[in-house]
Amino acid sequence: MPLKKSANLREKMIREGRYKQFLEATKAQELKTGSQPLFDVFDEYYLAEISLGAPGQLIDVALDTTSSNLWVLDANCVSKNCKGNAMDGTLKDTYNSSKSVTYYSDGTSFSVPYKGGFVSGVMGTEKLTMADFHWYEQDFGSATVVPDIYTQEPIDGILGLGFPGLAVPGTNTTMQRLMPMLDAPLITIWMEISDGEAREFGYATYGMFDTKECSTNILYVPLKDNSTWKFYVDAFQIGSYSRVKNEIALSATGSGWTGVPNVVLSGIVKQTKAVYDFTNGIYTVPCSTNQPDIMLAINGVPYTIRSRNYVIDINLKNGQCALAFFGTTSQDPAWILGDAFVRSYCHVLDYGNARIGFAQSRHDY
């Protein structure tokens, strides 16, 4: 039987126009760890830059442990003021699918909750680049309808760090695609207070523990279940006020403020002598005052949150700073531990062992 010569795999992929994509994917697989800077905006928002599509479109997203999907603002959004305002720093970078050669969508719609409202739009797949990793056919939502509060925030979308159970059914999360590429299936989140400057004040480190910014003494805490970054808080103290109660807490890396039970908020207000600002709907204290440290017990271990991490300067008038807390009424979770806690203790999101670790930030000693 005569032998027939056939093209090798390289020739075949070149002919079909797939060889460049193959080389990029091979290079990406060689990267086992990586880090991504987080840009701090007034100590309320820590944003990571990602790229969607080919050619890439740059989008600033909040890395969020309370959700699992990736969604970005669509260039054709229809909500009022959805693209923000350049005058107040909320102008958005939007995603335009017509400018990308790697976009695909079958028209499936999505709707996910976001701060008292819903974000809605169309699901699709796209090339995603983050922290020098990149891959194709990442599921994401292109949002055309967003709640009013979103228009007031300097973010272009959300990249969820949560587990698959919280995702839109039938989709693969960013973490499901990223974790197999890494040396270890974990992420370290480090944040630092910026005192009003807008520049790099945090890092997300993928595939390894961040020994540069975080103490090597990591205390791991078991999760409430294997579907969320929830765990239990045992006790709380500030000044002479204390509360001992086992309650559910949720890590919230995308929240600049910390949610506490209403009775705890009352205790904080009393101990800090905070005054309610009816115009802005927040509690304030003079920026110049020294406020007491907070003690939070988790899994029997005390964690200290210094006032520099919970009193933030958001450019209020008359030398006032915001007390970065809000009251909660839910029992699950009762505590939403936002950036005040993250700035105090690096968060180690250990997907492989379904646990969360805390290590004191070297900048908070």
Chain segment 106-145, per-residue pLDDT in tens: 999 999 988 879 999 999 999 999 998 999 999 999 999 9
In whole angstroms, give the CA distance from residue 65 to residue 12: 42
- Report the pLDDT value the prediction gives residue 231, as an integer from 0 to 100: 97
CA quadruple 10, 15, 20, 21: dihedral sign: negative
Structure confidence at residue 2 as a pLDDT band (50, 70, 90): very low
Q: Does 83 or 88 have the greater pLDDT score? A: 83
CA dist list (Å): 56 to 24, 69, 97, 124, 255: 14, 20, 11, 16, 27
pLDDT digit string, tens, across residues 340-350: 999 999 999 99
Mean pLDDT confidence for 342-361: 96
- Report the pLDDT value the prediction gives residue 1, as an integer from 0 to 100: 42
Give this prediction's pTM: 0.87
Which tokens in the block code for residue 264?
A: 């705890």
Structure confidence at residue 42 as a pLDDT band (50, 70, 90): confident
- Does the pLDDT at position 7 exceed 60? no
Mean pLDDT confidence for 17-22: 68
In contact, 141 and 122? CB cutoff 8 Å: yes
- Does the pLDDT at position 45 exceed 60? yes
**Average pLDDT, whole number, for the chain?**
90
pLDDT digit string, tens, across residues 298-325: 999 999 999 999 999 988 989 999 999 9
- Does the pLDDT at position 164 exceed 70? yes
- Report the pLDDT value the prediction gives residue 13, as an integer from 0 to 100: 62
In whole angstroms, give the CA distance from residue 305 to residue 344: 6
pLDDT digit string, tens, across residues 69-81: 999 999 999 998 8
In contact, 365 and 278? CB cutoff 8 Å: no
- Does the pLDDT at position 14 exceed 90? no
- Domains along the sequence of the chain with CATH: 34-181 (2.40.70.10), 210-364 (2.40.70.10)
Mean pLDDT confidence for 19-38: 71
In whole angstroms, give the CA distance from residue 309 to residue 355: 24
pLDDT digit string, tens, across residues 233-273: 999 999 999 999 999 999 999 998 999 999 999 999 999 99
Q: For 107-117, b where at least 16 C-beta lie within 10 A, e where not — what string? A: eeebebebeee
In one letter, which amino acid is 159? L
Mean pLDDT confidence for 276-288: 95
CA quadruple 133, 96, 41, 236: dihedral sign: negative
CA quadruple 302, 306, 307, 308: dihedral sign: negative
- Report the pLDDT value the prediction gives residue 8, as an integer from 0 to 100: 57
pLDDT digit string, tens, across residues 196-244: 555 568 999 999 999 999 999 999 999 999 889 999 999 999 999 999 9
Structure confidence at residue 5 as a pLDDT band (50, 70, 90): very low
- Report the pLDDT value the prediction gives residue 57, as an integer from 0 to 100: 97
In one letter, which amino acid is 69? N
Residue with tokens 């805390």: 358
The closest alpha carbon to 256, from 320, 202, 298, belongs to 202
Which DSSP string corresponds to 228-286? Answer: SSEEEEEEEEETTEEEEEEEEEEE-TT-SSEEEEHHHHHHHHHHHT-EEETTTTEEEEE
Mean pLDDT confidence for 349-357: 96
Provide the percentage of residues in the chain whose pLDDT is more than 90. 75
- Does the pLDDT at position 161 exceed 90? yes
